Amino acid sequence: MSTPPSLPRLTRHALPALHDHVLLPERPEWHEPRIGIVHLGIGNFHRAHEALYTEEAMLAEGGDWGICGVTLQGDVAKRDALMEQQGLYSVVERGPEGAKVTVVRALREVLAMPHDHDALFARLADPCVRIVSLTVTEKGYCRDPKTGDVALHDPAVARDLQNPHAPRTVPGILVAALRKRRDTANAQPFTVLSCDNLAHNGAALRQVVCSFARQWDAALADWIAAEVAFPSTMVDRIVPATTEAERATAAATLGYRDDAPVPCEPFRQWVIEDRFPAGRPAWHAVGAQLVHDVTPFELAKLRMLNGTHSTLAYLSMLGGFATIDEAIAEPAMHKLIHAMMTQEIAPTLDMPGSFDIAGYRDALLARYANPALKHRCAQIAMDGSQKIPPRLLGTIAANFGAGRPITRLALAVAAWMMFLRGYADNGSRYDISDPLADKLKGLATSANGEPQALMDALLSVREVFSAELAAQPEFRAALHHALQLLKNDGARGAIAALQ
């Protein structure tokens, strides 16, 4: 099913006809808000998560928190599609009972870097902008994984340091904008809000930004460290890539053509460290949890959800499962993931007494089984070199000395190693999308399929494995066993053996 070309485009002129598909205010009427948030990385996740929470918060308690979204890869097609719709788009929430379509209005402007450089920095200098948020994935931070500082060896970072007034990286943009705020009379700094799946994301971003600033202006770095808030967050919602099915669903439901719909699951969660000196939307009134410390929630999500998501992805890429719901529907895979969460992950967590860890596990398994979502395993398998350490290796390390098994966690790491060969158990090939793709593929190929050689080669990659973990006998033994199982029996056989 495709979108009929004759349908009129979704714009704000259509809103009166879409009463059943827009969120209704608790106040008498909706007013078009001024822009109060600039968001770097205007992808699907932000539009199905923070933007939706923000619109609901404005409906609940008012405020000028309209969003300016920024693409950082020169994606003028996304900018143009959204701006032709005057910032409107639909969220297509897919659950077992069917699809629910909601038109979101919080997005007021979309810019594309570097084309809209001047417009972006004018917006960042506007005192009405009190929050700069971002979803740019781990690699967008330009972070040295060894030190946590900005990666000075990154060519893009080096370019920005040579051209500090025309930056293109996230740390470069933030530092240049904050410098202008500092140097403007009576201007408050904006709050910088990371919404990425990165451990202690606020603190991590603060270190990157301050270390970048120190390369340019030590006094500026000190000012940022003292005056700018970087609250941490934990975000959760499964948001796959958009397909033609979402465009067709939106068109059939709305009677208008939407070129930028976003699919997602019904579940969502947002835990936020409540530190916003310049103010924030009433996110607390619409389901977000404002807390003193997000760390326990962050770790639960990182290990329970993200860790098992990556496990499912790499085993599925080898074993021939295309989507997460297809993989978890296999009884042996379901048992494996259930046991992994129960025996190897949950015991590493220290949660508040009110948190039901078994209930959280069961909710995750139910979400994975949602047949309407079709979350592609290939999408989740991207950027494994940056995802494996926080999602799996930290959990493995937490189990050492506690007498807990790491058998299934080791299988997940082994599956990633085998995945790097670039072909499934049945011989079908796929691409490797990773910042270290060439290096990792070269090492995996040189091992020629031998478990010991593959393990030795990849454990030497210090961007992924610390020397201490790579030398840990318990880890090496469990990893070698898992690699041998994958070689001899394939992914499906290994899953059956270790469930």
Average pLDDT over every residue of 398-408? 92
Statement: residue 1 has pLDDT above 60 = no
Q: Six-digit token pair at 354? A: 């009110």
**How confident is the model at residue 31, as a pLDDT?**
80
**How confident is the model at residue 219, as a pLDDT?**
97
Give the integer Cα–Cα distance in Å for 341 and 67.
37
Per residue, what are the HEC states of the chain?
CCCCCCCCECCHHHHHHHHHHECCCCCCCCCCCCEEEEEECCCHHHHHCHHHHHHHHHHHHCCCCEEEEEECCCCHHHHHHHHHCCCCEEEEEEECCEEEEEEECCEEEEEECCCCHHHHHHHHHCCCCCEEEECCCHHHHCECCCCCCECCCCHHHHHHHHCCCCCCCHHHHHHHHHHHHHCCCCCCCCEEEECCCCCCHHHHHHHHHHHHHHHHCHHHHHHHHHHCCCCCEEEECCCCCCCHHHHHHHHHHHCCECCCCEEECCCCEEEEECCCCCCCCCHHHHCCEEECCCHHHHHHHHHHHHHHHHHHHHHHHHHCCCEHHHHHCCHHHHHHHHHHHHHHHHHHCCCCCCCCHHHHHHHHHHHHCCCCCCCEHHHHCCCHHHHHHHHHHHHHHHHCCCCCCCHHHHHHHHHHHHHCCCECCCCCECCCCCCCHHHHHHHHHHCCCCHHHHHHHHHCCCCCCCHHHHCCHHHHHHHHHHHHHHHHHHHHHHHHHHC
Q: Residues 401, 270: one domain?
A: no
Could you report the per-residue pLDDT of 321-356, keeping only the tens digit for each? Answer: 999 999 999 999 999 999 999 999 999 999 988 889
Q: Residues 353, 260: one domain?
A: no
Q: Residues 324, 444: one domain?
A: yes
| Residue 154 · residue 436 · CB < 8 Å | no
Q: Six-digit token pair at 196? A: 């990425």
**How confident is the model at residue 25, as a pLDDT?**
58
Share of the chain above pLDDT 70, in %: 98
Give the integer Cα–Cα distance in Å for 273 and 226.
18
Number of domains in the chain: 2
CATH number at residue 185: 3.40.50.720
Statement: residue 29 has pLDDT above 70 = no
- Answer with the one of 245, 271, 291 that is the final residue of a domain: 291
**Residue 478 C-beta-side C-alpha neighbours within 13 Å:** 23
Task: Report yes or no on 2 lying in a domain.
Answer: no
Q: Residues 260, 343: one domain?
A: no
CATH number at residue 348: 1.10.1040.10
Give the integer Cα–Cα distance in Å for 239 and 378.
14
Give the integer Cα–Cα distance in Å for 479 and 454.
11
Measuring CA to CA, which residue among 10, 13, 61 is closest to residue 33? 61
**How confident is the model at residue 23, as a pLDDT?**
79
Statement: residue 421 has pLDDT above 70 = yes
Q: Residues 181, 316: one domain?
A: no
Q: Residues 175, 279: one domain?
A: yes
Q: Residues 361, 325: one domain?
A: yes
Give the integer Cα–Cα distance in Å for 236 and 251.
27
- Residue 178 dihedral angles phi and psi, to the nearest 5°: -70, -35
Share of the chain above pLDDT 90, in %: 87
Q: How confident is the model at residue 282 (pLDDT cuts 50, 70, 90)?
A: very high
Instruction: Encode 454-466: b = buried (16+ Cβ within 10 Å), e = exposed.
Output: bbebbbeeeebbe
Statement: residue 195 has pLDDT above 60 = yes
Task: Report yes or no on 211 lying in a domain.
Answer: yes
**How confident is the model at residue 372, as a pLDDT?**
86
Task: Report yes or no on 1 lying in a domain.
Answer: no
Q: How confident is the model at residue 4 (pLDDT cuts 50, 70, 90)?
A: low
Q: Residues 30, 101: one domain?
A: yes
Q: Six-digit token pair at 91? A: 């969220």
**How confident is the model at residue 403, as a pLDDT?**
85
Give the integer Cα–Cα distance in Å for 361 and 453.
35
Task: Report yes or no on 236 lying in a domain.
Answer: yes
Q: In what order do the strands lie in the sheet with 289-291?
A: 233-236, 269-273, 289-291
Task: Report yes or no on 5 lying in a domain.
Answer: no
Q: Residues 167, 93: one domain?
A: yes
Measuring CA to CA, which residue among 152, 302, 151, 274 is closest to residue 202? 274
| Residue 409 · residue 450 · CB < 8 Å | no
**Which range has the worst mean pLDDT, 19-23, 108-112, 155-159, 313-317?**
19-23
Statement: residue 233 has pLDDT above 80 = yes
Statement: residue 105 has pLDDT above 90 = yes
Statement: residue 146 has pLDDT above 60 = yes
Q: Residues 184, 159: one domain?
A: yes
Give the integer Cα–Cα distance in Å for 192 and 43.
18
Statement: residue 283 has pLDDT above 70 = yes
Task: Report yes or no on 3 lying in a domain.
Answer: no
Q: How confident is the model at residue 74 (pLDDT cuts 50, 70, 90)?
A: confident
Task: Report yes or no on 6 lying in a domain.
Answer: no
- Answer with the one of 291, 312, 338 that is the final residue of a domain: 291
Q: Residues 73, 130: one domain?
A: yes
**How confident is the model at residue 353, as a pLDDT?**
85
Instruction: Encode 351-390: b = buried (16+ Cβ within 10 Å), e = exposed.
Output: eeeeeebeebbeebeebbbbebbbbbbeebbbbbbbbbbb
**How confident is the model at residue 435, as a pLDDT?**
93
Give the integer Cα–Cα distance in Å for 138 and 143.
8
- Answer with the one of 270, 291, 312 that is the final residue of a domain: 291
- Residue 346 dihedral angles phi and psi, to the nearest 5°: -55, -40
- List all residues 6 or more positions away from 47 whose beta carbon is below 8 Å from its beta carbon: 69, 89, 91, 104, 107, 260, 262
Statement: residue 3 has pLDDT above 70 = no
Task: Report yes or no on 490 lying in a domain.
Answer: yes
**How confident is the model at residue 336, as a pLDDT?**
98
Q: Residues 260, 199: one domain?
A: yes
Neighbours of 194 (CB within 10 A): 27
Q: Containing domain of residue 474, as a range?
A: 295-498
Q: How confident is the model at residue 16 (pLDDT cuts 50, 70, 90)?
A: confident
Statement: residue 5 has pLDDT above 70 = no
Statement: residue 465 has pLDDT above 90 = yes
